[in-house]
Structure 1
Amino acid sequence: MHLYRIDPAGDREAVRALYGIHRAAEAAETPEGPILPAPSFCDWAAHGWSDEPREVWLGDSDGDGDRGTGPAAGGYVLELPDTGTHRVASLLLVVHPEARSCGAGRRLFEHARARMRAAGATSCTAMVLNGSPGEALARSTGAKPSLVFLRQVCALDRAKAPRPGEVTAAAGVPGYSPVRWCGRTPRGYESDVAALTTATSDAPSGDVDRDGVPWSVQRVRTRDERCAARGTRAYSVAAFCESEGRLVALSTAYVDAAHEGWASQGDTVVLGEHRGRRLSLGVKKDLMTWLREKEPSVHSIATWNAEPNDGIRRVNGSLGFTVSRRWTEWHLVL
């Protein structure tokens, strides 16, 4: 395998080749979907969700010189830490199903490990589908399973949420009122959204030490800009605390332009002092009701949750979500 670094923002042919490998692998392992559409994958490969630093490499099955001549067989996206003490990198490594069992995955990993060490990373994480060929590769590198994540799916026509026009759930909690927006975060709420996004750092994280750098207003704006640039519609429902004059709960879902009938649930978070008041259930119910109204072609919504996060799992179960797959986050000390 010949490896070469690509510029995902400038080399559309190369990043589309990487997406083709990713899509083939996803279709082989999770044929029920959803699969991230090409525009979102290519934008994420180039910029991350909010402009995190990264490297993208592609591997040809044969060839020499600066760039191989054979068909693309695999590649990886490496998100590198640029702040903090623990300096944890994140790796997405993909091998085309037709190129497996010939050492391609190991070759890609060893190359990625060298790049992580050169960048000063102290450890790395990778999400691997349970029961997939990636499990054996992860184990062979010396990585350890850190945390199990559940992909849960809900058919919107069966969701246990109010129908359009019914009283919203968040409005039923005394002292709080619902707030909705589609697209970029309104300027008056950006600092609240930054605080809420920072609060997600207290979710279960296994044995991985992350620095939990607080989100800034600028990072919220960057994430919104990236979302708009790739044609993704973001729907957000929040709970506004009337006595404090700020947002204290938030749930967001994303619908890609090429969504193929799926929406993706982002974070649902409630500030610590406001938990235990069913606000997470309220904002998620309102969000699903709004999605049914605004996106009639979306039939299902998928979400990811850490298995130990019992609170959000109970909320999801009450709304009609069921577990479809399990992934494990593997952690390797470099």
Structure 2
Amino acid sequence: MRIREVDLGDDSALAAFHAVQVDAMVWDRPSGWIRPLGQLVTQVQAGSPYYRPVLVAAVGGDGRFLGVAESGFSLQDNTHLADLEIAVRPEVRRRGVGRALMEHAERRWRTQGCTSVCGELHVPSGSALDDTPGYLFGRVFGFDPVHQEDHLVLDLPVDGGQLVELAARAEGIGDEEIVTWLDSCPDELVGAYAALRTQMENDVPIGDVDYEPVVVDEARIRSEEARTRPHWVRLVAAARRRGDGTMSGYSCLLVSRSDHHVVQDDTLVMPEHRGHRLGTRLKLATLRIVQSDFPEHRMLHTWTDPDNHAMYRTNTDFGFVARERMHELQRKDG
């Protein structure tokens, strides 16, 4: 077995890399969402001024990929922090493949100057983290749990009567109007939208993750829109106060162009506007568009901190059910 970095321009190598991730996902996470190959290819080949991916493979004597590691390094913010995901084919586990990939990753992030590394571990809802092989593996290399979120899934379509009931609960509360857009934020709203996104960076629960909130500006938003457009329809609903046009919240869904999955990106209500079911109104606006314009989609995913009681309650009101718990594991070397 040898460890080598994957050429990001080699489509066949990327397909082999992706196949290992799929095998591991199917084995470990039957409720998980599998990123399509095309999305991986775009992510690593399109380039970003904010993030640099590094893909590594453990290659057997026959040239077959036995395991893979996906790392990422921030280029402008949080340059001290790397992220890491390791996947090993089920049939070759406990043979040193994961260890070899981790040791290579350690050398790579030290060369990059990173002092913190984070990775995600998913376990079925109700399962004990301490009994999970991935957790025990991480502990050997000095990783500790620092944050957790539930992976919640909503089967689509949602019954129309339930949507009417949810709308009735929020009717007449507040004086906001809901505006929506697809793919690109209108120029006249992008400044206010950037302010909401920056607030989200500061408000979203992240536990003890060694991360500094980012200031989101128009350039970052436009770069993000361009990168996601080939594989996702970006659907945003924003709340705007009728009296003065102040933006008070938003919710964003990513609708896959290649399968029947929808991913909830963010939902934020500004602090002074909370407690008036504005989050429900925003989620209703996006869900209605999904069900009318993308009726073939069958599953909506979101991730919510179980201690974020208000958002968790909003999600369960819609019918989301917890399928997994995501544990963020972190190692700090400096």
- Measure the CA separation in 2 of the matches of 1:151 and 1:280: 18
SS of 1:162's equivalent in the other structure is helix
Equivalent residue for 1:245?
Answer: 245
What one-letter code is carried by the residue in structure 1 that aligns with 2:181? W
- Measure the CA separation in 1 of the matches of 2:240 and 2:48: 26
Q: CA deviation at 1:33?
A: 4.2
Identify which range, 279-288 or 76-85, moves more after superposition: 76-85
- Measure the CA separation in 1 of the matches of 2:44 and 2:87: 13
Q: CA deviation at 1:31?
A: 2.2
Q: CA deviation at 1:133?
A: 3.2
SS of 2:54's equivalent in the other structure is strand
SS of 1:53's equivalent in the other structure is strand
| 2:116 counterpart of 1:116 | no
Change (3 A) 1:258 1:38: same
8 Å CA contact 1:203–1:309 kept in 2: the answer is no
Q: CA deviation at 1:45?
A: 3.9
8 Å CA contact 2:118–2:328 kept in 1: the answer is yes
8 Å CA contact 2:50–2:75 kept in 1: the answer is no
Identify which range, 201-210 or 80-89, moves more after superposition: 80-89
Q: CA deviation at 1:53?
A: 2.0
8 Å CA contact 2:31–2:324 kept in 1: the answer is no
8 Å CA contact 2:6–2:57 kept in 1: the answer is yes
Equivalent residue for 1:21?
Answer: 20
Equivalent residue for 2:150?
Answer: 150
Change (3 A) 1:85 1:32: closer
Change (3 A) 1:262 1:168: farther
8 Å CA contact 1:170–1:286 kept in 2: the answer is no
The unaligned stretches of length 5 or more in structure 2 are 124-128
1:298-309 correspondence runs (5 A): 298-309=297-308
Equivalent residue for 1:102?
Answer: 95
Identify which range, 311-320 or 169-178, moves more after superposition: 169-178
Change (3 A) 1:169 1:246: farther
Change (3 A) 1:90 1:193: same
- Measure the CA separation in 2 of the matches of 1:231 and 1:84: 25
8 Å CA contact 2:50–2:76 kept in 1: the answer is no
Change (3 A) 1:133 1:49: farther
Equivalent residue for 1:221?
Answer: 222
- Count of paired positions: 323
Equivalent residue for 1:162?
Answer: 163
8 Å CA contact 2:143–2:329 kept in 1: the answer is yes
The normalised TM-score by structure 1 is 0.89
Identify which range, 151-160 or 16-25, moves more after superposition: 151-160
Equivalent residue for 1:288?
Answer: 287
What one-letter code is carried by the residue in structure 2 that aligns with 1:90? D
The unaligned stretches of length 5 or more in structure 1 are 63-68
- Measure the CA separation in 2 of the matches of 1:101 and 1:203: 37
RMSD between aligned residues: 2.3
What one-letter code is carried by the residue in structure 2 that aligns with 1:233? V
- Measure the CA separation in 2 of the matches of 1:98 and 1:46: 30
Identify which range, 41-50 or 19-28, moves more after superposition: 41-50
What one-letter code is carried by the residue in structure 2 that aligns with 1:185? C
8 Å CA contact 1:147–1:206 kept in 2: the answer is yes
Q: CA deviation at 1:128?
A: 0.7
- Measure the CA separation in 2 of the matches of 1:168 and 1:183: 29
Identify which range, 111-120 or 199-208, moves more after superposition: 199-208
- Measure the CA separation in 1 of the matches of 2:302 and 2:49: 19
Change (3 A) 1:145 1:189: same
Q: CA deviation at 1:225?
A: 0.3
Q: Cα deviations across residues 3-58 of structure 1 (Å, max 9, x unaligned)? A: 222232x2111111111111111111222443222212332344588851222222
1:174-193 correspondence runs (5 A): 174-193=174-193
8 Å CA contact 2:180–2:238 kept in 1: the answer is yes
Q: Cα deviations across residues 117-167 of structure 1 (Å, max 9, x unaligned)? A: 11111111100112653222111111101111110011123357536xx97
Q: Percent identity?
A: 26
